[in-house]
Amino acid sequence: MQRITITLDDDLKAELDKVIEARGYQSRSEAIRDLARAGIREAAFSGVTAEDCIAALIYVYDHSARELAKRLVHSFHRHHDLSLATMHVHLDHDSCMEVTIMRGKTHEVRDIADNVIAERGVRHGRLVMIPADLNADNHAHDVQEGCAHTHIRVR
DSSP bridge partners of 98: 59, 88
Q: Answer whether residue 70 shows pLDDT above 90.
A: no
Q: How many CB atoms lie within 10 A of CB 58?
A: 16
Boundaries of every domain in the chain: 10-45, 52-133
- pTM for this predicted structure: 0.64
Determine the distance from the C-alpha atom of residue 62 to the mean position of all C-alpha atoms in its chain, rounded to a whole number.
Answer: 16
CATH for 52-133, options being 3.30.9.10, 3.30.70.1150, 3.30.310.220, 3.40.190.10: 3.30.70.1150
Q: What is the pLDDT at residue 18?
A: 92
Summarised one tens digit per residue, pLDDT across range 98-116 is 999 999 998 999 999 999 9
Q: Which helix (H) or strand (E) holds 70?
A: helix 68-78
Higher pLDDT: 44 or 121? It is 121
